[in-house]
Amino acid sequence: MSFGLGSGLIVALVAAVAVGALGVAVMFRKEVLAAGEGTSAMQTIATAIQEGASAYLARQFRTLAVFVVLVFVLLFALPGDTDVRIGRSIAFVVGAGFSAGIGYLGMWLATRANLRVAAAAREPGGRDLGMRIAIRTGGTVGMATVGLGLLGAAVVVLLFRSDAPTVLEGFGFGAALLAMFMRVGGGIFTKGADVGADLVGKVEQNIPEDDPRNAATIADNVGDNVGDCAGMAADLFESYAVTLVAALILGKAAFGEAGLVFPLIVPALGALTAVLGVYLIRPRAGESGLTAINRGFYLSAVISAVLSAAAAYAYLPGSFADFSQVSDESILELPGDPRLVATIAVFVGIVLAGVILWLTGYFTDTAKPPTAAVAETSLTGPATVVLSGIGLGLESAVYTVGVLAAAVFGLFLLGAGSVTLSLFLIALAGCGLLTTVGVIVAMDTFGPVSDNAQGIAEMSGDVDEAGARILTDLDAVGNTTKAITKGIAIATAVLAATALFGSYTDAVRTALAEAGEAVDSVSYEIVSPATLVGVLLGAAVVFLFSGLAINAVGRAAAAVVYEVRRQFRDIPGIMEGTTRPEYGRVVDIVTRDSLRELATPGLLAAFAPIAVGFGLGVGPLAGYLAGAIACGALMAVFLANSGGSWDNAKKLVEDGAHGGKGSPAHEATIIGDTVGDPFKDTAGPAINPLLKVMNLVAVLIAPAVVGLSVGEGQNDTVRYAIAGVAFAIIVVAVVVAKRRTVSMGDEVPAARATR
């Protein structure tokens, strides 16, 4: 496929917008770093957090480099033209590098912004200044996410043209794989430290959160940055990249040349409106910070919708018959106006983002009835707090997934009976949703930055009561924004995974045609026993993945508990405040445990589709993907919203409700919060990249599975051998994880139970 001059210029313009977005990121970064850094005590604490976060990510990247090299070689070994295989492998490395770079940027800037937000609370107008610093920090990462995602996709389209979708599979896979590892590893680090710090400090010793006498406080604050900042930034980048990949793969089939260009135009417009959205987040007098953030989000979303509609009518033809070089020629015979159809699809995505924002906020905001009800159950103890939070999460998952299902079904109806067009419209809706990604990342980063700022203020003792109140309010807003962005990330995961599911079926049909087989020779009917088995396995993997992640947090937290107890017991003067705890030992413990634990979930995500695909065939693999998408969406929302509600229920009690700090109700909410920590910050968010990694693996291996299953290349021995090796790797990884013991220092029981 050769581009017309106009299309080539548009893609080049998109690349220029991407570079401009990176320039805006540099400008925001400069503004953040220009703010005051507070007292010397605050700077000392911030430096310890910076050093811990940098050391952890450096060790993590060295570990993950092995996986990157291995996958690079495996991708090159897959069938296809040599140029495409080389391009796909290189794109994989670039995608992984961009994902890692975004994660590192998020961590690096957040560990400097937290100090500046804490310092701002000491100044007149501290709330507004603190909000602006935190939002600009997120805006920096958000614009870098948009810039690198758009730049990577645009350059690949310019270089590879018709082969761009295949090459971009590598780009998306690299971004998703690194994001999943960073999400799992960072989540284990942050929640292992957080849970351990809470259980010993607040529950056993009855000292405040972030009290400098607690040896786990520095590790806890480090974890906020490597988990919530680095992990979530990488997660949202891969969502952006993978959604673009899915849109371009399906766009080529549905709209031909235009389908490789229009999906780039929509997020490019979103990059422009994201800058406006970040600047619009300014609280008015007497207005809550969350209201200001929501206003900036909704205004940028509305402007994006208007600009996207204008772009559709300016660029796309007025009839389906006017498209050229489409893969599915039946689309040329469809009635209707493709400009209107594309506009509606983008609108659906933008509206979906707004609905998810409202719905998630309703279930997790401290000012809304659901979380208030969870806080009230603290009057009857921790058991009822846990039960109410679980019930809230289960209920909210139904509503959120119901909204997603309605959107997907509506887009299928909009496709006028064409599956190819319908799947492309779903991917376009994902692009529409991600027009707001710059603001979404800003909202997400706001949470850990404000949380860390509160910790620095408390540990330093250099912020007065009024300043502490400002930071507490910002932290509560941050808890809600983190929950909201997790909900939106889940929505993008479902849309991208559904679109990639369509890409998988297209890859299977193409491979069958090349093998000389009928394209309908593979059954995807759910009544087929083999396909139903695939559905069950897909759902089961989500449960296993979540269980592995939560158990890993439990082991890391147990190690922290024993270490902090040891220090309180064996180091004189800690409780009196005359001796400094050994913060570095706890950082080392959670660093070691998180890096050793992240391999098993990653291997499960990569090798489970291989085992199912080569072992059972392409039909059951399709069922596997469907089961994983359905179960993963429900599980991710359940985990995120339960954890968010428990966290904010604790904030409500700490603000004075039901007896306030130190009361039995407070202790009950602390237990709920510790249960929710690995839910909302480890297992739940990691499901998003998990779904996309598994779908991309399926897309990548589909030609090889078909080639070994039918035609002249059929070889069941090789196929089953590959499946057996993949299954064996999973079994070994899980068994090794289950046999790991907790490092308990001097308090190791005589007989340690394995898990």
Query: Residue 742 has what pLDDT?
Result: 63
- Which helix (H) or strand (E) element contains residue 286? none
Radius of gyration in angstroms for the set of CA atoms belonging to the chain, rounded to a whole number: 25
Query: How many helices, marked H, and strands, marked E, lie in the chain?
Result: 22, 0
CA 139 – CA 154 distance, rounded (Å): 22
Neighbouring residues of 146: CB distance < 8 A, sequence distance ≥ 6 = 18, 21, 240, 267, 270, 271, 274, 437, 438
Residue 345 has pLDDT above 90, yes or no: yes
Q: Is the pLDDT of residue 192 over 90?
A: no
pLDDT in tens, 594-640: 888 878 888 898 899 999 999 998 889 989 999 999 999 999 999 98
Each residue's pLDDT tens digit, 107-141: 889 889 989 999 998 888 888 888 889 899 988 98
Which tops the pLDDT comparison, 530 or 523?
530
Burial classification of residue 3, based on how many CB atoms lie within 10 Å of its CB (0-12 exposed, 13-18 middle, 19 or more buried): middle
CA angle 706, 710, 714 (to 5 degrees): 95
Res 542 pLDDT > 60: yes
Q: What is the pLDDT of residues 88-111, one digit of tens each?
A: 899 999 999 999 998 888 888 988
Residues 700-712, mean pLDDT to the nearest whole number? 84
Rounded (10°) angle between helices 437-460 and 262-280:
40
Q: Are 478 and 449 in contact (CB under 8 A)?
A: yes
pLDDT in tens, 31-87: 999 998 888 989 988 888 888 888 888 888 888 888 888 888 888 877 767 787 888
The pLDDT score that the predictor gives to residue 522 is 59
Q: What is the pLDDT of residue 753?
A: 37
Residue 323: predicted pLDDT = 84
Report pLDDT for 29.
93
**What DSSP string describes 215-258?**
TTHHHHHHHIIIIIIHHHHHHHHHHHHHHHHHHHHHHHHHHGGG
Q: Provide the residue type at 25 as one letter.
A: A
Q: Is 84 exposed, middle or buried (0-12, 13-18, 19+ CB in 10 A)?
A: middle
Determine the Cα angle at 666 with ends 486 and 559, to 5°: 70
Q: Is residue 328 a contact partner of residue 251, using CB atoms and an 8 Å limit?
A: no
CA distances for 266 relative to 74, 155, 326, angstroms:
33, 16, 20
pLDDT score of 625:
92
pLDDT in tens, 354-400: 888 888 888 988 888 999 999 999 999 999 999 999 999 999 999 99
| pLDDT bucket at 751, cuts 50 / 70 / 90 | very low
Provide the residue ranges of all domains of the chain, joining segments of one domain with +: 5-745
The DSSP 8-state label assigned to residue 487 in this structure reads H
The answer to whether 541 touches 604, Cβ cutoff 8 Å, is: yes
Q: How far apart are CA 724 and CA 610, in angstroms?
A: 10
Q: Which two tokens stand for residue 182?
A: 């960073």
pLDDT value of residue 707: 85
> Stretch 278-298: mean pLDDT, rounded?
82
Q: pLDDT (tens digit, 9 = 90+) per residue, 436-484?
A: 888 888 888 888 888 888 888 888 888 888 888 888 888 878 877 877 7
Counting residues of the chain whose pLDDT is more than 70, the rounded percentage is 96
User: Which uninterrupted H or E stretch holds 364?
Assistant: helix 338-364
Q: What is the DSSP letter of 283?
A: P
Look at residues 566, 649, 455, 575 and name the one whose alpha carbon lies nearest to residue 207: 575
DSSP-derived letter for residue 259 is G
Question: How far lies 253's CA from each of 265, 418, 433, 522, 577, in Å?
Answer: 18, 11, 22, 20, 67
Q: Is it the case that residue 288 has pLDDT exceeding 80?
A: no
> If you average pLDDT over every residue of the chain, what do you get?
86
One-letter amino acid of 65: A
User: pLDDT higher for 164 or 553?
Assistant: 553
In sequence order, what DSSP letters do the residues of 732-747 get, joined into one string?
HHHHHHHH-----GGG
- Least confident span in 93-97, 199-203, 749-753: 749-753
For residue 741, the tally of other CB atoms under 10 A from its CB is 13
For residue 42, CA distances in Å to 114, 122, 129, 381, 456 come to 10, 12, 17, 36, 6
Position 464 scores a pLDDT of 86
Q: What is the pTM of this model?
A: 0.85
pLDDT digits (tens, 9 = 90+) for 481-525: 877 777 777 888 888 888 877 778 777 777 777 777 765 655 556
Give the whole-angstrom CA distance, residue 371 versus residue 658: 14
d(CA 593, CA 557): 10
> Of the candidates 469, 228, 235, 490, which has an alpha carbon nearest to the alpha carbon of residue 357?
490
N- to C-terminal Cα separation, the chain? 55
Helices (H), 34-81: 40-77
Q: Quick one: DSSP state of residue 681?
A: I
Please, which pLDDT band fits residue 4 given cuts at 50, 70 and 90?
Answer: low
Pairwise CA distance, residues 214 & 459, whole Å? 10
Q: What's the CA gap between 466 and 471, in Å, rounded?
A: 9
User: Residue 738 pLDDT more than 70?
Assistant: yes
- On whether the CB atoms of residues 708 and 567 are closer than 8 A, the answer is no
Which among 715, 677, 621, 658 has a CA at the least distance from the CA of 190? 677
pLDDT of residue 596: 83
Which of the four pLDDT bands, split at 50, 70 and 90, describes residue 746?
A: very low
To which H or E segment does residue 691 belong?
helix 684-709
